[in-house]
Amino acid sequence: MRFFCVATLVLLALVASVEGWRVESRARDGLMTFEAFIKQFNKDYSPSEYVKRKQIFEANVVDILKHNSEGHSYYKGINEMSDWTHDEFMHLNAARGLMKQKVTQNLHDSFTVKQFERTNRSLPHRVDYRRHHPPILTSIKNQGNCGSCWAHSAVEAIESHWALATGNLHVLSQQQITSCTPNPNHCGGTGGCSGSVEQLAFAYIHDAGGIAEEWSYPYTSYYGDSGVCKSVSPFEMIAKVKGYVEVAKDDQEALMEAVAYEGPISVSVDATYWQSYAGGIFNGCNYSLNITQNHAVQLVGYGFERKTNQHYWLIRNSWGPRWGEHGYMRLLRTRKPECGWDVNTHMGSACDGDPDTEWVCGTCGILTGASYPIPDVGSFAH
């Protein structure tokens, strides 16, 4: 009887696995019907909304099929955002890069801002922190319909660097950062779900005395409400930060050295064309159309794909595990980085009073505005 039960469970697991693969394959190939999409992603519409979303979905499927027939280095697929217009998707990208003219104002003297010192160490051919042991990456998160990717990027970086420093990996609170981080100079937005920058999150955690775990301050901003900042007991603080390190602007070797030897990095990118990304090495940012850094993610490595003879950056996103390559993305890394002007910085990284233009480099601007936190392990006491 025990063997029968085990065999049955194995068979059921195999069937579920095959069915899951079929659903994923249909989504990847753009062959999923709207009804299957509704079921797969638990969508619920009013009658009028159903008609609207069906039209948007079908238009996005046409784009997916067209793109995938053209032989690109990356492919598109159906995901949770396939019933969104491009404007709705852009509302999600309310996270920004670093223009430090105003970011570093009013910081406490005890808060440290350092520059990464490149030493030209030999670089490993591949870095992938998903394979690090013990683990230093928590599971993929979903920011929902809230422009809080700056908070997710900052928290992910703190989780990783705290784990590297202490050996303890904690799931930390994105909601605390989203709801509580002040943004008086409107750096990258007006704060919360309307955008900010990772460096302000690091400074807030320092000033607040630490950050709580996710279970004690859970994420609630899925539908665009930044939430009200709640007081957090000192006993709930699980990690502290004493500053952050900036990686030299537009220096590809410096960023590679930093991620290889220091750990995962918070980076800012132009995610304008990422909505339907499903896999492969993304090269869809176009400097001739302007690069606006409107999204924050975590850089967790780099590598090389022999099949396509392409180098790439390994990106961890915050749009859920069913986006991209199980929540991750490979972004083209050219030997000589492409550069150009961001002529619309106030839709991205700028603070009030910052210039309207900025020189940015790397695929999707990845080389401009990278930083990582300095964990304050020595002063931590529970």
Name the residues annotated as catalytic. Answer: 149, 295, 317
Q: How far apart are CA 276 and CA 83, in angstroms?
A: 11
Specify which residues 142 forms β-bridges with: 319
Preceding amide of 182 cis, omega within 30 = no
Q: Output phi, psi for 296, to 5 deg.
A: -120, 135
For β-strands 277-282 and 328-332, DSSP reports them as parallel
Among residues 263, 260, 218, 259, the alpha carbon closest in space to that of 236 is found at 218
Q: How far apart are CA 43 and CA 188, in angstroms?
A: 31
Residue bearing tokens 């400074």: 203
Residue bearing tokens 């603080």: 237
Among residues 21, 47, 40, 48, the alpha carbon closest in space to that of 78 is found at 40
For β-strands 112-115 and 295-305, DSSP reports them as unpaired
Q: How far apart are CA 154 and CA 266, in angstroms?
A: 6
Q: Give me the long-range contacts of 128-136 (CB less than 8 A, separation at least 24).
A: 128/300, 128/301, 128/303, 128/314, 129/160, 129/263, 129/264, 129/300, 129/301, 130/300, 130/301, 130/314, 130/328, 134/163, 134/167, 134/169, 135/163, 135/169, 136/160, 136/163, 136/164, 136/169, 136/263, 136/264
Q: How far apart are CA 363 and CA 131, in angstroms?
A: 24
End-to-end, the C-alpha distance of the chain in Å comes to 51
Q: How far apart are CA 217 and CA 219, in angstroms?
A: 7
Among residues 275, 296, 291, 273, the alpha carbon closest in space to that of 283 is found at 273
